[in-house]
Structure formats: C-alpha cells, structure tokens
Structure 1
Amino acid sequence: MKVVAGQSSPLLAKRIAEKLGCELAKTTYKVFPDGELYVRVEGVKDEAIVVQSINSNKDLVQLMLIFDAVANADIIAVIPYMGYARQDRAFNDGEAVSIRAVAKLIESYADRVITVNIHSEKAKSYFKKLVDVDAMPLIGGYYKGRNVVMISPDLGSLNRVKVASSYAGCEFDYLEKVRLDAENVEIKPKSLDVGGKDVVIVDDIISTGGTIVEATKVLKDLGAKSVECACVHAVLAGDALNKLFNAGVKRVIATDTIEKSISAISVADEIAKVLLQDS
C-alpha cells in the first residue's frame, strides 16, 4: 500500500502516510506547452491511496490521470475537498448536475471514496462508495476552553455549527441570509446576544467571502467584541481573504482539505482512522 499525493494535497497526503505508516509513491507531474498534463506514478502494485482535493478543473483532470496511472491497483480515492458538490441539482432544463457526472467519473476508477464535509446530502447521494468525514468536531475542539459564541451565517449551516459548538462547549445561533445573486447576499439580523462577545462564524466553505463579510458587518453592528471565522474548506477565490480582513475579521482558520496559509487544523487523523477501519 502506498499513498499517492496529487499536486493539490501534498502536505495532507504526507500526513496521512505518516499516520498509516506507509510510503509515499514517487510521482512526476508536468504540463506540456499546449497545456496538456502528464502524470507518472512509480512503484504502486497492490493498493493506492490517492489524495487529491478538487479545487480546480486542473485538479480534476490530474486526478483522472493519477487513477489511470495506478489502474492495476486497488484504488482508494481520498478527495478531502470535493469540488463541484455545490452543483448538486438542475434548476433549469438542460443544466448538467455536475457532481453527478463527477461522481460517476471518480467511481469508475475508485473502489472507495473518502471526502470531508461534502457540501450537501444531495451531492452525497450521487456516490455509491462514499464515506464522508465530519471535520466540525475538529473545529469545535480547536476553540475548546475559549469564551466564544459560534454563529452560522445562515440556517443551512446551523447543524454544522451545532456540532462544532458542542465540542467547543459554547453557545451557538444563526443569521438569516437571503442570496441576491451568485456573489451578493443580504444578511438579516436576528435577536442575537453577541454584545461584547468574541464571535466565531463557522461554515463548511468560504469561497468568495461575500457571506462572511456581510455577516461580520451585522455582528459588529450588534456589538460583537471581535469576529473570527472558521471553515472546513478554504476555497478563498480571488482576493477573498483580503476582503475578510478588510471587513474586520480578526482571524481566519481552516482545515488542510485545501492547503492554505490559514490551514491550522489537519484532517489527517480522521481520514487515517477511516482507512484503518476499512483495511
């Protein structure tokens, strides 16, 4: 058994390999002048644990090439951040349900699939071989012992925040969000008692940061002493991180499902536990 590190998840792959006590496979990745990708994986015989988050189209194509390079082995696909999971249904005639297509593609190669906090139960339903790891206890544990209030930016993430707060041992609540378009949201304040308190906004994904920016404004208006935010998947498209800091967010932390400078929490232990249970 060897761990194969895709280019999007080298550090997490190394951490998982260390937890499992196995080697990293030797890999070579290149890009040809015309933009085509090249992949070589050496020394994999019986079982390959492929670790690659999908945070871009390049990540997805490279993942497929890695699968093909180790096609003679049993493949366990560890995809900590499952891109395309937010496209989990068709709203208009003729639209692709993108995560359904991606699920079929991945499972045509992989014997098992492990991901972390896939965006929705609907997205999860398109997989037949999926184990979804919950990182909210890790986020909660990170704040254990601190006097904070955890806030969900909308009702949809309330259950996630409820889990995190139970591990942090703190209070929780949510804001009401109305999405105006793909990049803009309006946050309507509830009757939250955050005056003079340190608040942590908790969500599964921070992409453009628009939701967190608006939530921070509301919480500041309600008298919050400070606002931090924590997420599982730090997509942080464009200058999202600057937007958050400019809005007054004191600190941003995330897991290493997408490897960023703010990845303060590792999901390696939780993924290794699943791999060891199934071995």
Structure 2
Amino acid sequence: MARILFTLNGHDNIAHAICQLCDASMGEYARRQFPDGETYLRIDSTVKDCDVILLCGLEQPDDKFLPLVFFARQLKEMGARSVGLVTPYLAYMRQDRRFMDGEALTSRHFAKMLSEHFDWLVTVDPHLHRYHSLDEIYTVPSRALQAAPLLAQFVRGEGDVWLLGPDEESAQWVSVMAETAGVPWAVARKERFGDRDVRVTLPDTSAFTGRRAMLVDDVISSGHTMQRALLALKAEGFDGSDCLCIHGLFADGCDAMLKEAGAARLISCNSILHPSNQVDLGPMIAEAVGSLLDRYSG
C-alpha cells in the first residue's frame, strides 16, 4: 500500500526520517490565504487507496487547526485509505480540569475534534498532568513518545554538569534523565501567582560546586520560570547556566529575555522549529509512525 507524507509547516528533518524509514513519498499541494483570511487548498498528489501522513506541529494551534482539518477532509474525499497525524507538539493539553464554573475543558474538546478527522496520532511528550494517557481523551490509536532518553544522550556529552528541574512535578522525569546521563540532579520549588508571575526557590546547591548547571523543563513558554531560576542560580555563583527543554515555544521573544538573565545556551528538541534545536526527534518519530502504519495496514 502506497504511503504519502504531506508536511504543513516545515520539519524537514522529521519528514526526511519518516519518508526514509516508512518508505513514504512526499506529497504535493498548494495552499494560500484569500485576502479575507480564508484558506485555499489544492492537493495535487494522487492519494486514492493510499495511507497518508500529515506532519503538522500544533504550536499556535488556532491558526493551524482549520487548514489541518480541511486537509484531512479533502484527503478522505479523494479516497485516502487512512489519514494519520504526526504533531511533534500537541496543543490544548493543559486545561485538563475545570477550576471555575463555566471554564471550557479545551483538552477534551480539542481531542474530540482531532479524533473525528484522523485515524491515528503520534506526538512527543504531551502535557499529561491529570491524564494518565492520551487514550483518556483521544479515541484513535496514539503514541505519546518520550524525549527524555534523547536529552539524556545529549547531556551525557556535556561533561561536569548537574540538572535542575523547575518544580516538584519535574522530579520524576528529571531524575530518570539524570540517572541515564550519569549526572547529579535536584529540583527547585516553584510558586505560581499568575501566568507570568512565579517565584523559584533553589534547594541546597553546595554539592554541585564546580559543575555547570543545566535547567531542564518539558516546555519553555513564557520563560518566566526559567528566568527566575537563572537569576537564583547566578546569585549562588552558577554563571553561564544552560536552558534545556523538549518544546521551545519561546512566546513573545522570551529567548532574548533568557539570554539577558544569563543563559549561556538555549537547547531544544526540533518539535518546534527554532534556532535552539539541537536534539533531533526524527528517527524516534519515524519508528512510531512505521509501527502504527503497519498495524493499521494489517
């Protein structure tokens, strides 16, 4: 059965890995916006009876969701046998409970809409806080891959470093990463007073004197937690610390803010395209896609 990959917003390294490992060819299409902001879409490749892969990161999801749905529906109308979604960053996972009456449980709403249009899903480290797995809200086969082993491999080559997680929630995966990399670790205490108002308190860092600190988080969004941690580290004599993350959203240009706060390097996976990308998710994603395609074809 022929396999075709369409990539909607770059991710050339990941696309190349999927095509190579899954024996897929690149599809051709045209897309543009009319002056009123509506989307024009034309799929030029023949997709009838093919298994189709859509590669689309879902950072800034409100701008991308409608074109993505139009693409999936058009593929089905043209006779695609299956349509799967590869989204290295999966949006709308944080609102996983109602804190106030009337709040939209957007994680469930978004999951229902995506499940209606796709046959399977692959993503990397979604924000599974109160959900134990994607299966709780997605009704299609899914793979939630973990980038921690790849980050640990990167850290292993960094010499005398120690890892610092920003809060107690990070302890479980930071500890595994540190153990895999063979480096010491600790976690800070974070108090949040608003979306951009946080306080970070460091643990005892005396055991790490002489080592370079690497701040580790799954997502850097506003960057305020990292900024507070960098300033706290600098106050204790750890100059030139690195910021390491899986998903580098870097909202509102916060990468510049982190540099000003003393970050020597910003290091991220290529789930979201950014100059800080140094850890390639392509082979890991391609392996998962191949497994799902083989299962679906079988």
1:5 is matched with which residue?
Answer: 7
1:230 is matched with which residue?
Answer: 244
- Deviation of the 1:10 alpha carbon: 4.6
2:167 is matched with which residue?
Answer: 154
Q: Letter of the aligned partner of 2:195 in structure 1?
A: A
- Deviation of the 1:144 alpha carbon: 1.0
- Deviation of the 1:51 alpha carbon: 0.8
Q: Is the 8 A contact 1:208 1:237 kept in 2?
A: yes
- Deviation of the 1:262 alpha carbon: 1.1
1:173 is matched with which residue?
Answer: 186
Matching of residue 47 in structure 1 with residue 61 in structure 2: no
Query: Which one of the candidate residues 257, 267, 283 is aligned to 1:269?
Result: 283
Q: Is the 8 A contact 2:160 2:212 kept in 1?
A: yes
Q: Is the 8 A contact 1:19 1:268 kept in 2?
A: no
Matching of residue 126 in structure 1 with residue 137 in structure 2: yes
SS in 2 for 1:7: coil
Q: Letter of the aligned partner of 1:192 in structure 2?
A: T
Query: Which one of the candidate residues 83, 93, 100 is aligned to 1:75?
Result: 83
Q: Is the 8 A contact 1:8 1:59 kept in 2?
A: no
1:144 is matched with which residue?
Answer: 156
- Deviation of the 1:78 alpha carbon: 0.8
Change (3 A) 1:90 1:10: farther
Change (3 A) 1:147 1:221: same
- Deviation of the 1:148 alpha carbon: 0.8
Q: Is the 8 A contact 1:150 1:202 kept in 2?
A: yes
Matching of residue 254 in structure 1 with residue 257 in structure 2: no
Higher-Rg structure is 2
Change (3 A) 1:82 1:267: same
Deviations 1:4-36 (Å, cap 9, x if unpaired)? 101254543233223323211112120111111
* RCO higher in structure (CA 8 A, sep ≥6): 2
SS in 2 for 1:180: strand
Write the distance in 2 (CA, Å) between the matches of 1:40 and 1:51.
Answer: 17
Query: Which one of the candidate residues 178, 198, 201 is aligned to 1:185?
Result: 198
TM-score under structure 1 length normalisation? 0.95
Q: Letter of the aligned partner of 2:74 in structure 1?
A: A
Deviations 1:89-137 (Å, cap 9, x if unpaired)? 2111111111111111111111111110001143533123321000111
Write the distance in 2 (CA, Å) between the matches of 1:2 and 1:34.
Answer: 31
Q: Structure 1 or 2: larger helix share?
A: 2
SS in 2 for 1:108: helix
Identical pairs, percent:
26
CA RMSD of aligned residues (A): 1.6
Could you list the runs of 4 or more consecutive aligned residues of structure 1 that deviate by over 4 angstroms after TM superposition?
Answer: none
1:26 is matched with which residue?
Answer: 28
Write the distance in 1 (CA, Å) between the matches of 2:11 and 2:40.
Answer: 17
Q: Is the 8 A contact 2:247 2:271 kept in 1?
A: yes
Q: Letter of the aligned partner of 2:99 in structure 1?
A: F
Matching of residue 217 in structure 1 with residue 231 in structure 2: yes
2:107 is matched with which residue?
Answer: 99
SS in 1 for 2:5: strand
Q: Letter of the aligned partner of 1:89 in structure 2?
A: R
**Structure 1 gap ranges (5+):** none
TM-score under structure 2 length normalisation? 0.89
Q: Letter of the aligned partner of 1:102 in structure 2?
A: F
SS in 1 for 2:21: helix
Write the distance in 1 (CA, Å) between the matches of 2:59 and 2:71.
Answer: 16
Q: Is the 8 A contact 2:21 2:290 kept in 1?
A: no
SS in 2 for 1:53: coil
Change (3 A) 1:168 1:220: same
Q: How many residues align?
A: 279
SS in 2 for 1:216: helix
2:212 is matched with which residue?
Answer: 198
1:135 is matched with which residue?
Answer: 147
